Amino acid sequence: MSLSPKKIEILEAMLLYDKPTRVTQIAKDLGNEFPPVMMHLVGLTRMGFARSPEKAYYAITQKGKEALGLPEVNRENAKSILAYASNDKMFHFYAEIGKPLSFRAHSLQDFCSALLKVEVESVDFHIKRGDFEAWFKCLGDTELARKVALLKEKKLAGEELRSKLHEIVENRYVQLAKVLEHTAPT
């Protein structure tokens, strides 16, 4: 079943949230009026692409993520994504082309720590180039890469960008760690 461009846009907006979000916030983020967004969310919920855990709050489901081309993460995928990357696959932060910084990341956890310490201009530099998306894909995390691509479209910069990016990466790290924890052999 194919979804309309508007429904895809709504699913993508919900993907950036790691918790149920008010319809009014989703509409505001999309620059749309409340009634049409609400109508689409009701349809997405009926089709199983979204869920409403409480009145006026909505979240994307695994089926919704799959509609966006994002695979479900199992224990093996989570373990691989969270693994310590070798020196040739670690992320190197730069101020600009030809100006490396002393910050590197071998894992999502390292990345979160470095992100809070690196100059904000470095974050802007890498987001514009698509470097973060590429590294997350290299780690095998297509969902995180997609979230960063969607964040990039919002044209945030400076501390606001750093804060939102850190939140997204940290939440993803926690989600993946939970997959490992909940599927560990007993």
- The per-residue pLDDT for range 118-131, each reduced to its tens digit, is 999 999 999 999 99
Task: Please compute the mean of the pLDDT values over residues 5-29 and round it to a whole number.
Answer: 96
Q: What distance in Å separates the CA atoms of residue 161 and residue 138, rounded to the nearest whole number? A: 22
**pLDDT, the chain, mean:** 95
For the chain, the domain total comes to 2
pLDDT at 135: 98
pTM above 0.75, yes or no: yes
Q: Which domain holds residue 39?
A: 5-67
Cα radius of gyration rounded to whole Å, the chain: 17
Residues 6+ apart with CB under 8 A from 114: 91, 93, 103, 104, 105
Of 42, 67, 92, the one marking the end of a domain is 67
Q: Are residue 160 and residue 94 in the same domain, yes or no?
A: yes
Write down which residue in 67, 90, 114 finishes a domain. 67
